[in-house]
């Protein structure tokens, strides 16, 4: 019973810890930048009406033929004007999120409008859109606009506000990453991802004109095919072993319980393997495949790997402007001050 109580107290402490909001602000800025870019890209391609309006008004959606309409359609119809207004509203909300202006409200509005758009054009919605909506839910409840934001400027007269905020949203962002990568690994049912399929998945993906950025017909020849095999095997290994990151975080949090392997992992900061491999993987995807904002929005989540204290230390070392002050957090990843 005592052990159960102690565990529960530890859980309460874990979810109650606080740190400066820098990590979360960086996630917010990165995600919002991707969304703003994507929406402006749609406008630049002159695709606002096709993607946001009903087919009676020059769009592609046949939302009006459905029995249940999204709220936006019930209120404003599926006309060209309503489509343009939905796009403009989403863009404004995304810019507000980027600037950290009424941050939670901006996240809530963007989430609501995005759900409306998905109701209008479900086939336009890709995995990364769903992932960003999951993160927007966290931004509605978490304090992602505490620092590096207009909200901070209005509150303190400075862009940076080192006041501690609850760290649980950052931990849930990390949890989302771990869940996504792990799920992506375990759900890879195609034979070509595995040894019996010759690790040929990446080669085949590069032959698909829908998603390849260039003509990669030459990867059929060696040594290029072998390189794609290494890429495939690494991807599978990387994604299926992602849950180990949790263990590594556990060892960092409780070094006294780490044991010999845990101490080695802590000493070499083995989590960097997953971090760097992931970054390498996404940058490469961004270069060779045509997946829109997917790789960049994934990378935008990576600041959540680090505590705000670490960001402050690095910015003090590398940027000419030193961070004004940092809250007293320790280096164990436990945070230090109760929320």
Question: Of 106 and 205, which has the nearer Cβ to another protein?
Answer: 205
Question: Of 4 and 187, which has the nearer Cβ to another protein?
Answer: 187
Question: Of 14 and 306, which has the nearer Cβ to another protein?
Answer: 14
Q: In angstroms, what is the minimal distance from the CB of 56 to another protein?
A: 6
Alpha-carbon distance of 188 to 230, in angstroms, equals 16
Q: Phi then psi for 166, rounded to 5 degrees?
A: -60, 135
Q: Phi then psi for 252, rounded to 5 degrees?
A: -70, -35
Do residues 164 and 19 make contact, with C-beta atoms less than 8 angstroms apart?
Answer: yes
- Give the SS3 label for residue 216: coil
Question: Of 41 and 158, which has the nearer Cβ to another protein?
Answer: 41
End-to-end CA distance of the chain, in Å? 27
The DSSP secondary-structure symbol of 269 reads T
Q: In angstroms, what is the minimal distance from the CB of 227 to another protein?
A: 12
Tokens of 269: 């900061």
Q: How far is CA 254 from the centre of its chain?
A: 27
Alpha-carbon distance of 334 to 89, in angstroms, equals 39
Q: In angstroms, what is the minimal distance from the CB of 188 to another protein?
A: 5
Q: In angstroms, what is the minimal distance from the CB of 218 to another protein?
A: 12
Question: Of 109 and 291, which has the nearer Cβ to another protein?
Answer: 291
Q: In angstroms, what is the minimal distance from the CB of 12 to another protein?
A: 4
19 strand-pairing partners = 165
Q: In angstroms, what is the minimal distance from the CB of 237 to another protein?
A: 15
Question: Of 45 and 230, which has the nearer Cβ to another protein?
Answer: 45
Question: Of 59 and 258, which has the nearer Cβ to another protein?
Answer: 59
Q: In angstroms, what is the minimal distance from the CB of 260 to another protein?
A: 30
Do residues 162 and 325 make contact, with C-beta atoms less than 8 angstroms apart?
Answer: yes
Q: In angstroms, what is the minimal distance from the CB of 320 to another protein?
A: 38
Beta strand segments in the chain, E: 17-20, 164-166, 337-338
Number of H helices, E strands in the chain: 16, 3
Beta strand segments in 96-227, E: 164-166
Do residues 232 and 199 make contact, with C-beta atoms less than 8 angstroms apart?
Answer: yes
Do residues 321 and 327 make contact, with C-beta atoms less than 8 angstroms apart?
Answer: no
Helix (H) / strand (E) element for 207: namely: helix 201-207
Q: In angstroms, what is the minimal distance from the CB of 170 to another protein?
A: 12
Within 10 angstroms of residue 49's Cβ, the number of other Cβ atoms is 18
Question: Of 9 and 325, which has the nearer Cβ to another protein?
Answer: 9
Question: Of 246 and 273, which has the nearer Cβ to another protein?
Answer: 246
């Amino acid at each position: 019973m005592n052990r159960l109580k102690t565990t529960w107290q530890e859980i309460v402490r874990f979810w109650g810890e606080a740190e400066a909001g820098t990590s979360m602000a960086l996630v917010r800025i990165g995600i919002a930048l991707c969304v703003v870019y994507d929406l402006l890209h749609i406008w630049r391609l002159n695709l606002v009406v096709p993607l946001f309006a009903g087919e009676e008004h020059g769009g592609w959606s046949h939302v009006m033929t459905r029995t249940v309409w999204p709220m936006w359609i019930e209120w404003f119809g599926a006309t060209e004007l309503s489509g343009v207004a939905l796009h403009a509203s989403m863009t404004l909300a995304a810019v507000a999120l980027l600037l950290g202006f009424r941050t939670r409200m901006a996240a809530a509005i963007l989430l609501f409008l995005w759900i409306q758009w998905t109701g209008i054009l479900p086939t336009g919605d890709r995995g990364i859109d769903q992932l960003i909506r999951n993160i927007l839910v966290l931004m509605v409840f978490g304090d992602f606009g505490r620092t590096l934001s207009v909200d901070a400027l209005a509150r303190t007269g400075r862009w940076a506000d080192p006041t501690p905020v609850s760290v649980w949203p950052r931990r849930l962002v990390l949890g989302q990453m771990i869940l996504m990568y792990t799920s992506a690994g375990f759900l890879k049912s195609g034979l070509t991802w595995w040894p019996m399929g010759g690790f040929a998945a990446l080669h085949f993906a590069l032959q698909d004109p829908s998603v390849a950025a260039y003509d990669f017909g030459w990867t059929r020849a060696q040594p290029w095919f072998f390189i794609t095999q290494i890429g495939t095997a690494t991807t599978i290994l990387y994604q299926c072993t992602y849950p180990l990151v949790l263990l590594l975080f556990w060892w960092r949090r409780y070094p006294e319980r780490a044991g010999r392997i845990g101490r080695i992992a802590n000493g070499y900061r083995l989590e960097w393997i997953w971090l760097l491999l992931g970054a390498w993987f996404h940058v490469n995807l961004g270069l060779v495949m045509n997946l829109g904002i997917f790789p960049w929005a994934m990378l935008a989540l990576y600041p959540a790997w680090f505590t705000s204290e670490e960001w402050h230390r690095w910015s003090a070392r590398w940027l000419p402007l030193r961070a004004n002050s940092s809250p007293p957090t320790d280096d164990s990843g436990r945070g230090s001050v109760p929320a």
